């Protein structure tokens, strides 16, 4: 994994892929599947929707850090499996053969098998709406990875895989942040 410039990290989340969010509770790693995410600022800031119903939430609230990892379509069954069992009774890293990698800023692990990882700290929890606001501290990309298509959860049990990419950069230059 190579460091990705932090000002590009929002481009990992803006397209709306399903992500894996890892935490560390002082004793062990955990990971959850989240498809309710949003970029909030280029700096980068991200929002995710989660709450008490996710076992990871306690660690997120207590340690105020996590890693947002972006899986690709070859990991779909792992993504679904992670989303349908609980860290309360399952070591998900072991069960789904994920390799935890030590980050630079947070104790929550990066996931080696993912296309990209973002180390994050929790900067706010909007309890009224179950919205957790994250600040990205460092981003990484597996530039050697061949499969780079991410997956978009529909919410009905189906997933849309990335198709072709269209370029409208010239039309949009006024709106693209400098250096992107």
Comparing CA positions, the residue from 51, 23, 53 lying closest to residue 128 is 51
**Looking at beta carbons only, is 63 or 130 nearer to a copy of itself?**
130
Beta carbon of residue 107, minimum distance to a copy of itself (angstroms, whole number) = 25
| H/E stretch holding 116 | strand 116-126
* Contact positions with a copy of itself (CB under 8 A) in 33-72: 35-41, 45, 47-49
| Residue 166 lies near a copy of itself (rule: CB under 8 A) | yes
Task: Using alpha carbons, list the distances in angstroms from residue 154 to 14, 123, 166.
Answer: 16, 28, 22
Nearer to a copy of itself, 53 or 94 (CB): 53
> How many chain residues bind a copy of itself (CB under 8 A)?
60
Q: Is 100 a binder of a copy of itself (CB under 8 A)?
A: no
Write out the two tokens for 123: 């900067």
Assess contact for 71 and 151: CB atoms under 8 A: yes
Q: Smallest distance from the beta carbon of 114 to a copy of itself, in angstroms? A: 17
Give the position of tokens 């498809």.
35
Q: How many CB atoms lie within 10 A of CB 178?
A: 6
CB atoms within 10 A of CB 51: 14
Round the CA-based radius of gyration of the chain to a whole number and report it.
16
Q: How far is CA 157 from CA 84, 151, 153, in A?
A: 11, 12, 8
- Which residue among 8, 64, 121, 145 contacts a copy of itself (CB under 8 A)? 8
Q: Per rule CB under 8 A, is residue 172 in the interface with a copy of itself?
A: yes
- Maximum distance among all alpha carbons in the chain? 51
Of 27 and 53, nearer to a copy of itself (C-beta) is 53
Q: What binding mask, one character per residue, do residues 121-160 give for a copy of itself by CB under 8 A, x or -?
A: ---x-x-xxxx-x---------------x-xxxxxxxxxx
Stretch that binds a copy of itself, among 21-29, 63-71, 98-106, 172-180 (CB under 8 A): 172-180
In the complex, the residues that contact a copy of itself under the rule CB under 8 A are 8, 10-11, 14-17, 35-41, 45, 47-49, 73, 76-77, 80-81, 83-84, 124, 126, 128-131, 133, 149, 151-176, 180
């Amino acid at each position: 994994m190579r460091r990705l410039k932090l000002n590009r990290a929002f481009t990992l989340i803006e397209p709306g892929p399903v992500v894996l969010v890892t935490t560390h509770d002082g004793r062990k790693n955990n990971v959850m599947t989240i498809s309710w995410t949003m970029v909030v600022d280029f700096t980068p800031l991200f929002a995710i929707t989660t709450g008490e119903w996710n076992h990871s939430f306690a660690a997120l609230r207590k340690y105020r850090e996590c890693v947002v990892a972006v899986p690709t379509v070859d990991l779909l069954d792992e993504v679904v499996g992670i989303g349908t069992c609980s860290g309360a009774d399952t070591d998900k890293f072991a069960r789904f053969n994920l390799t935890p990698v030590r980050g630079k800023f947070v104790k929550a692990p990066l996931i080696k098998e993912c296309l990209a990882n973002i180390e994050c700290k929790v900067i706010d929890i909007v309890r009224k709406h179950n919205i957790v606001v994250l600040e990205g501290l460092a981003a990484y990309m597996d530039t050697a990875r061949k499969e780079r298509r991410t997956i978009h959860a529909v919410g009905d049990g189906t997933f849309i895989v990335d198709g072709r990419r269209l370029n409208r950069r010239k039309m949009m230059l006024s709106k693209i942040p400098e250096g992107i």
